[in-house]
Amino acid sequence: MFDARIVLWLSLTLRSPRSLRRPRFMEGQPRRPTNPFSMENGTVPCAEKRPAEAKETTVTEGAAKIAFPSANEVFYNPVQEFNRDLTCAVITEFARIQLGAKGIQIKVPGEKDVQKVDVDLSEQEEDKAELKEGANVAPGDQPRTAAVGEICEEGLRVLEGLAASGLRSIRFAREVPGLQSVVANDASARAVDLIRHNVQLNKVAHLVQPSQADARMLMYQHQRVSERFDVIDLDPYGSPAPFLDAAVQAVSEGGLLCVTCTDMAVLAGNSGETCYSKYGAMALKSRACHEMALRIVLHSLDLRANCYQRFVVPLLSISADFYVRVFVRVFTGQAKVKASASKQALVFQCVGCGAFHLQRLGKASGSPGGRVKFSAACGPPVAPECEHCGQRHQLGGPLWAEPIHDLDFVGRVLEAVSANPGRFHTSERIRGVLSVVTEELPDVPLYYTLDQLSSTIHCSTPSLLQLRSALLHAGFRVSLSHACKNAVKTDAPASVLWDIMRCWEKECPVKRERLSETSPAFRILSVEPRLQANFTIRDDANPSSRQRGLKRFQANPEANWGPRPRARPGGKTVGEAMEDRRKLLQNKRKELAEDPAQRAARLKTFPCKRFKEGTCQRGDQCCYSHKSLTPKATAEATCTDCPQTPNQNPPGPGATAGPGVD
């Protein structure tokens, strides 16, 4: 027996360690066909079969058909279809611009021929086009085109750093023309195996290349100019902060960087110190928190790009549902990087009335000879106490203070989506959101809200058209914001806004005797308005998107439509536990409605503590029981905490009635 143990030990010891190593499948190497849903936690399939309940679900979105496990092993959120549709539309227009400069026209299914020729040509390309028109064009000299699903040798190289099921990458390959390659990367072996299956399912293996690697390491390995990506898409679960440094280095000159942030609790001011640790800025609790979140993300991107003599130019910045999404181009230029300080600003926000002021970090001024001189800015722009309500200020930022949209580019995307409404399932919403974006004041950061202004002075709320008309009559500009449906974005100072609200309060008076002398409402209303507001409705007060009835702000599409739980190896078990916990905690802070008679009967089952002490003065009007205490009665309550109820259950024998109720 002892010799048998020694032989077994030697056989295990002398076995090649390579045979004990878990196999890893690399691209281009043959491997045996396996079930893509048989991998769990990054391990290869073994002789054991998976449980019968682990089935796959097929989802069709856009032109892609995706299969993923029914369990929560690979992340997928159907509510973000708007995000993916908008990304496809933006990359399509970006490809039209980039390839148009090379003389390549893109073909988008559903577009008319007139729009296919609409490309941006440089002056040299325009001269070449004029010379070519006058000469005899040979059959082989026809304009080059790029179609959907075909490899374009001079096309865009796209990277999706966190691909999960590969849905976004496959949609790029099947819906966006002018692509050279799409790298669908994920750190999870389970997700990468699923990507391979979906790539074969959609027949886009010639364009989409699955990759298993850490997204940061993959981008750091593509820092060379010749290896950079033209488009990088980052849509992580939570904050993208760990990936931004690598992303700004791996994107090509003038390339497109698409970033999604779903940690809105941090960006909206609930944890200012956490926001600073991730994005380098302090977030404030404000009615304009969604636009402030966009500007904080843009500041963080520009700050990281400046470390490598690069800077960002925002194309489109969207706040939708439970996340923010930014599209920026990254350029290199030492002279332009020097101007980055003057593009950032600190925010002074009053804690009483909500009035805010921006303080630029730097100052750029012209000097003789056409040179630009950079210097430190002077400040602060506010006194220690607010001039309107006397309260203190909070300091937030730095944040991006320049325009967050390129209106020319947004107009191109809007025109393309409007001309081809059948291309995306969410085309109606994309049209509405982009229409509001084109109406925003580009040079006015942040905004106020109607309910904020009226609740501060405790008066009734004017209509949106009345307040907008009053600002227009006063000679100021005003617009809406796509981030909030009752936003008031205006270049009018806070003093003008409060003068308008004082005039409105005179038409709808407030009971000032109920206001505290130290409250912001009392101090604001105690000052007479210098401006006499005119609330007559103007025709230009109603924006065009509102008149046309566009779908500007999304309603809740489904139950539990917010962020989905993180994908876990436990899969379905974790998902069911999460759903049970949601049901358990639903309305936990709301007191359930109860019939008065049932409540009175229930309270009568509890003994009266004061009756036991001989101090209860309510007698038979007490809502608690005055019967003799029994050992079973263990709960105690105080009769003064309950309302006086009619005598429905008279005290039993032996109970002493009190003198009554006053």
pLDDT at 233: 94
pLDDT digits (tens, 9 = 90+) for 346-403: 999 999 999 999 999 998 887 777 788 888 888 889 998 999 999 999 999 899 999 9
- Say which range, 66-75, 221-230, 385-394, 527-536, has the weakest mean pLDDT: 66-75
Q: Which residue has the higher pLDDT, 136 or 486?
A: 486
**β 229-234/151-160 pair status:** parallel
DSSP character at residue 564: P
How far is Cα 32 from Cα 587, in angstroms, rounded to an integer?
51
How far is Cα 384 from Cα 567, in angstroms, rounded to an integer?
48
pLDDT digits (tens, 9 = 90+) for 558-567: 555 555 555 5
Q: Is the pLDDT of residue 164 over 90?
A: no
Q: Is the pLDDT of residue 47 over 60?
A: no
- Say which range, 30-34, 264-268, 304-308, 463-467, has the weakest mean pLDDT: 30-34
- In this structure, are residues 360 and 377 in contact, taking their beta carbons and an 8 Å threshold? yes
pLDDT digits (tens, 9 = 90+) for 587-611: 666 656 667 888 888 888 888 888 8
Residues in CB range of 498: below 8 A, 6 or more apart: 353, 355, 388, 524, 529
DSSP character at residue 110: T
- In this structure, are residues 261 and 320 in contact, taking their beta carbons and an 8 Å threshold? no
Q: Is the pLDDT of residue 90 over 90?
A: yes
On the CB side of 259, CA atoms within 13 Å amount to 33
- What percent of the chain has pLDDT above 70? 75
- Say which range, 21-30, 319-328, 459-468, 618-627, has the weakest mean pLDDT: 21-30
How far is Cα 594 from Cα 591, in angstroms, rounded to an integer?
9
Backbone angles phi, psi at 272, to 5 degrees: -65, -35
Q: What DSSP line would sit under 36-93, residue for residue? A: TTS-BTTBPP-SSPPPTT--EEEEEETTEEEEEESSTTS---GGGHHHHHHHHHHHHH
Residues in CB range of 418: below 8 A, 6 or more apart: 431
- Say which range, 52-61, 174-183, 210-219, 462-471, has the weakest mean pLDDT: 52-61
Find the mean pLDDT for residues 294-316.
95
pLDDT digits (tens, 9 = 90+) for 258-304: 999 999 999 998 988 999 999 999 999 999 999 999 999 999 999 99
Question: Residue 586: which pLDDT band, with cuts at 50, 70 and 90?
Answer: low
Residues in CB range of 432: below 8 A, 6 or more apart: 545, 550, 551, 552, 553
pTM for the whole structure: 0.75
DSSP character at residue 637: B
Residues in CB range of 452: below 8 A, 6 or more apart: 287, 354
- Say which range, 64-78, 333-347, 401-415, 624-638, has the weakest mean pLDDT: 624-638
Picking from 323, 314, 318, 348, the residue whose alpha carbon sits closest to that of residue 268 is: 323
Q: Which residue has the higher pLDDT, 513 or 74?
A: 513
Whole-number mean pLDDT of the chain? Answer: 80
CA dihedral 646, 647, 649, 654 (to 10 degrees): 150
How far is Cα 81 from Cα 102, in angstroms, rounded to an integer?
32
pLDDT at 592: 60
DSSP character at residue 512: G
> What is the CB neighbour count within 10 angstroms for residue 21?
8
Q: What angle do CA 546, 548, 550 make, to 5 degrees?
A: 70
pLDDT at 208: 93
For 641, the token pair is: 């905490």
Question: Residue 435: which pLDDT band, with cuts at 50, 70 and 90?
Answer: very high
How far is Cα 499 from Cα 533, in angstroms, rounded to an integer?
8
pLDDT digits (tens, 9 = 90+) for 569-584: 555 544 556 667 766 6
